[in-house]
């Protein structure tokens, strides 16, 4: 569905943020995009959405060159940026004026999910709190039923019960025809939600693997339970050590995404070797 080929990008007069980046993403998956502050997550998402244009290389979505922003491309894409300015309209009016851009927009789904988020469709959007505004846009994005839904830091501004609700609603909205990409700093917000982890580090996508694959190849445990001959990374916490080691048994275990992310950004790239 998404094909980035030899993509390089840099803002004018700044060094390149990505260099020769290649990435293929498929429908039917919820991808979690992680990277340090300033790694370029938002910029990568904007390249995919055709909001900025590659310096070199190409980004295709459903066969369309994203940079051309053709109507046939735009009607299948919904992008929720990290920060947004909403018009002085009620949610209901916003839907009335904009839903027709998305041929698969489901009005009943919009009102149902918005009610689950406990936001009134009659409230003026620019008088809602930041978290409530996010909820309206997440709901609109889900109801648009576009084949690609991109969310940049969607959980930013949501309180803890709303984050739980968000994960539940998102997980129940994925279909075989849809691809969702969620970027976040809050690794824990992706727990029980994403199926594939993407890590952007040092101008490249260094990891694009399903959690199933990762959990079969790496063992996440306390150091006492680690595969002692295959320890790849250890981090101490208040009560001991957490460890990533090679999973020799091939039995799936739960991936500690935060630990894996920390290992990668600390440049313990050996954790990536068993995943190649």
- Residues of this chain that interact with ligand ATP (CB under 6 A) are 11, 14, 17, 35, 37-43, 185
CB nearer ligand ATP, residue 34 or residue 232: 34
CB distance 29 to 196 below 8 Å: yes
CB nearer ligand ATP, residue 62 or residue 156: 156
Minimum distance of ligand ATP from residue 96's CB (angstroms): 32
CB nearer ligand ATP, residue 17 or residue 25: 17
Q: Is 262 helix (H, G, I), strand (E, B) or coil?
A: helix
For residue 227, give Cα distances in angstroms to 110, 236, 245, 246, 268: 48, 17, 6, 7, 17
Residues 158 and 156: their CA atoms lie apart, in Å, by: 6
Structure tokens at 130: 């930041």
Minimum distance of ligand ATP from residue 175's CB (angstroms): 27
Minimum distance of ligand ATP from residue 221's CB (angstroms): 29
CB nearer ligand ATP, residue 82 or residue 93: 82
Structure tokens at 161: 């019960």
In this structure, how many other beta carbons lie within 10 angstroms of the beta carbon of residue 118?
Answer: 11
Residues with Cβ within 8 Å of residue 151, at least 6 apart in sequence: 80, 138, 141, 180, 181, 182, 183
CB nearer ligand ATP, residue 158 or residue 244: 158
Minimum distance of ligand ATP from residue 242's CB (angstroms): 24
Minimum distance of ligand ATP from residue 202's CB (angstroms): 12
């Amino acid at each position: 569905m998404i094909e980035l080929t030899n993509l390089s990008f840099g803002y004018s007069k700044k060094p390149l943020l990505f260099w020769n980046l290649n990435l293929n993403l498929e429908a039917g998956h919820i991808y979690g995009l992680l990277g340090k502050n300033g790694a370029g997550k938002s910029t990568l998402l904007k390249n995919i959405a055709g909001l900025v244009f590659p310096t070199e290389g190409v980004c295709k979505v459903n066969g369309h060159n994203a940079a051309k922003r053709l109507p046939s491309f735009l009607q299948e894409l919904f992008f929720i940026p990290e920060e947004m300015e909403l018009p002085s309209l009620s949610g209901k009016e916003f839907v009335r004026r904009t839903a027709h851009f998305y041929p698969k927009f489901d009005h009943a789904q919009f009102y149902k999910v918005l009610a689950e988020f406990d936001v009134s469709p009659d409230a003026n959007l620019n008088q809602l709190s930041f978290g409530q505004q996010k909820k309206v846009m997440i709901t609109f994005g889900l109801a648009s039923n576009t084949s690609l839904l991109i969310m940049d830091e969607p959980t930013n501004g949501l309180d803890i019960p709303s984050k739980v609700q968000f994960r539940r609603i998102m997980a129940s909205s994925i279909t075989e025809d849809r691809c969702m990409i969620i970027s976040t700093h809050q690794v824990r917000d992706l727990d029980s939600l994403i199926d594939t982890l993407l890590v952007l580090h040092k101008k490249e996508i260094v990891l694009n693997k399903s959690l199933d694959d990762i959990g079969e190849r790496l063992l996440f445990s306390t150091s006492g339970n680690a595969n002692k001959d295959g320890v790849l990374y250890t981090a101490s916490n208040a009560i001991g050590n957490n460890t990533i080691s090679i999973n020799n048994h091939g039995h799936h275990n739960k991936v500690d995404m935060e630990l894996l992310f920390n290992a990668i950004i600390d440049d313990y790239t050996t954790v990536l070797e068993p995943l190649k």
